[in-house]
Amino acid sequence: TSDAKTRVDHYALSNACGQDGMNYQEFYCSEEEKEMQCEVDRNLRLQATTSAVYPNAPPPLSCGPRSTGNSFTGFWDVLQGKEIDLLPYENSYGRTDVEGCCYWGRGAIHSKGVCNLGKINYYLGKKASSEGRRSRYPNMDFCANPELICTAPESREMRWVTSMFEWTERVQAYDDGEGWNYMRKLKDFVDYGLVDFEFLEATGGILTQGCHDPPCAGSSKEKDGGWGSGSVH
pLDDT in tens, 72-120: 999 999 999 999 999 999 999 999 999 999 999 999 999 999 999 999 9
Average pLDDT rounded to a whole number, residues 165-174: 94
pLDDT tens figures, 48-83 = 999 988 899 999 999 999 986 678 999 999 999 999
Q: For Cα atoms 125, 127, 130, give the angle at the middle one, nearest 5 degrees.
A: 115
Cβ(220)–Cβ(23) under 8 Å? yes
The amino acid that residue 90 corresponds to is E
Conformation bin of residue 194: beta by default, left when phi > 0, alpha when psi is -120 to 50: left
H helical segments located in the chain: 113-124, 126-130, 148-151, 155-166, 182-191, 197-209
Q: Length of the chain, please?
A: 233
Q: Is the peptide bond before 153 cis (omega within 30 degrees of 0)?
A: no
97-129 burial, b for 16+ CB within 10 Å, e for fewer? bbbbbbbbbbbebebbbbbbbbbbbbbbbbbbb
E strand spans, the chain? 10-12, 46-47, 62-63, 75-77, 82-84
pLDDT at 168 over 90: yes
pLDDT at 3 over 60: no
